[in-house]
Structure 1
Amino acid sequence: MNDIDMVVGMGEALWDVLPEGKKIGGAPANFAYHVSQFGLPSCVVSAVGADALGKEIVENFTSKGLNQLIAEVPYPTGTVQVEIDQAGVPQYEIKENVAWDNIPWTKQLESLAARTKAVCFGSLAQRNVVSRNTINRFLDAMPGKGDSFVVFDVNLRQGFYNKEILCNSMKRCNILKINDEELVTVSRMFGYPGIDLQDKCWILLGKYNLKMLILTCGINGSYVFTPGNVSFYPTPMVEVADTVGAGDSFTAAFIASLLKGKSVVEAHSLAVHTSAYVCTKNGAMPILPPQLTD
């Protein structure tokens, strides 16, 4: 690889506060950590508060050997209160106006962007104008847009999204990752609700001139659409410990594979098997076995 070699996960770093205790959450760190397991240089970009929770996040990432550009800002470190209802379904309350809503634009970020070959960002981290502007500036500062992978991983949480943010992000990315439930919501918002999921994907691929669109459908498999082609893989049947971070590991394996020169079909296969493995382990950042990473 040349000096434009970095893979970046940008956005929220937070704690999921569960009935049994707290766990580090946030898609960008999950993504960056798994990319690093495939032997590629990666970095997580976020912000934490000047508090014990923020210090613990930084120490946790450091202990995992994860490169980080995590600003300390005068806001509390992000938390998500997770309550389990009587039916066993988790309910999330994502605290607002926290550190990761206020990721500042810095000289260090500008120089990181100049080295970045692939970036993954979502919709949740764009709910506040500060982080949204920083993400957009980072995308603007990346070199070689045609050769880079700019992944928009849709994550519709609570009411923290709108049509304008989704539309702008789809224009700026060249790979869109979305799940079947999110696709239904986005399609309603964009005014084509009555057609089947695959047709919706073809419309988005063409409308936003995407290199690829990844559609994940849980136990019903996943698709990768490229102009004129579609790859489908069934979801492997595994004993699920939890599904936390499985989608982020899918994205990481897929992008790492493409950066290593693999085909879309090969990258899709690795992503499916990586994600399935992560489902068999507790937590979002298990160590992957050599048969996946070699």
Structure 2
Amino acid sequence: MNDIIVGMGEALWDVLPEGKKIGGAPANFAYHVSQFGFDSRVVSAVGEDKLGNEILKNFDAKKLNYLIEKVPYPTGTVQVELDPNGVPMYDIKENVAWDNIPFTSALEELAKKTRSVCFGSLAQRSVVSRETINSFLNAMPDGEGQCKIFDVNLRQGFYTKEILCNSMKRCNILKINDEELVTVSRMFGYPGIDLQDKCWILLAKYNLKMLILTCGVNGSYVFTPGEISFVETPKVEVADTVGAGDSFTATFVAAILKGKPVAEAHKLAVEVSAYVCTQNGAMPELPVRLKERLM
């Protein structure tokens, strides 16, 4: 089996106050995984338009591999405004290319060679892309070393209990932040329990290998059956937080696939995401000192 790692879902432009930047969690994830020497792919769709061509050119320039179909819908855009703390607020346009990712024979072949995939809830807001993601998961080989990461991303009400429940059943690693956990636990009917207990419940209920809980400045946790890792969030000068969570996920998965213990993978993921926060945009090149930790 090839060691291909796939980021699957939305490919879009974040239109920020200072201009547009390539966005979408799958590309951020795949880019950061590739910085640690893995063969990664972005799976998505763009429109037959200038914005779509620019995304592909940008990925080519970053030497980022992809399987991206061109479809007769506009390339996705998101209006991003930063609040006074540098935290992004999003206005995500609907009925765009990444809502219509087709399940092709080429995508099925890629799934058969994929060791790890990261997918979210946002790209499942439309039935076409949701079915493609599920078909991809079905086509992946089963095995002890397989990572299927569900990175919850609750945006603008583009999620349902059914989508979240199905995705948690399909994944073996769940990544969620503290605000999302509050929302999910309300939907699932256990709002009065503290955050850690909610995590233990989800870990057991969905038979997960790991659950990653990020709490912003209050640190992050990795829960595995019988063990918990906590790392404080370093204090850094924040440029923006766009893509920091994706870099965390990518680094953690890369470290786990390289055979690192959970605590070591967690510590490196925190350091990388802190560095990304100090840079503008979601895809800065990482310093050699961080990359070398997994080489």
User: TM-score with structure 2 length normalisation?
Assistant: 0.96
1:21 maps to what in 2? 19
Please state if 1:6 is matched with 2:4. Answer: yes
Cα distance in 1 for partners of 2:160, 2:91 equals: 18
Cα distance in 2 for partners of 1:139, 1:236 equals: 35
Cα distance in 1 for partners of 2:67, 2:40 equals: 11
Aligned ranges for residues 1-294 of structure 1 at < 5 Å?
Answer: 3-83=1-81, 91-294=89-292
Partner deviation per Cα, 1:112-159 (whole Å, 9 max, x = no partner): 101101000000000000000000000000012442000000000001
**8 A Cα contact 2:86 2:241, kept in partner:** no
Partner deviation per Cα, 1:30-67 (whole Å, 9 max, x = no partner): 00000000011100000000000000000000100000
Cα distance in 2 for partners of 1:230, 1:259 equals: 19
Instruction: Give SS of 1:248's match.
Output: helix
Q: How many angstroms does 1:93 deviate by?
A: 1.7
Q: How many angstroms does 1:86 deviate by?
A: 9.2
Instruction: Give SS of 2:63's match.
Output: coil
Q: Where in structure 2 are there 5+ consecutive unaligned residues?
A: none
**8 A Cα contact 2:86 2:239, kept in partner:** no
Taking every aligned residue pair, what percent have the same amino acid on both sides? 77
Instruction: Give SS of 2:45's match.
Output: strand
CA separation of 1:86 and 1:155: change in aligned 2, threshold 3 A = closer
Cα distance in 2 for partners of 1:264, 1:83 equals: 35
Cα distance in 1 for partners of 2:81, 2:237 equals: 24
Instruction: Give SS of 2:141's match.
Output: coil
CA separation of 1:20 and 1:167: change in aligned 2, threshold 3 A = same
Cα distance in 2 for partners of 1:114, 1:46 equals: 17
Q: CA RMSD in A?
A: 1.4
Amino acid at match of 2:146: S
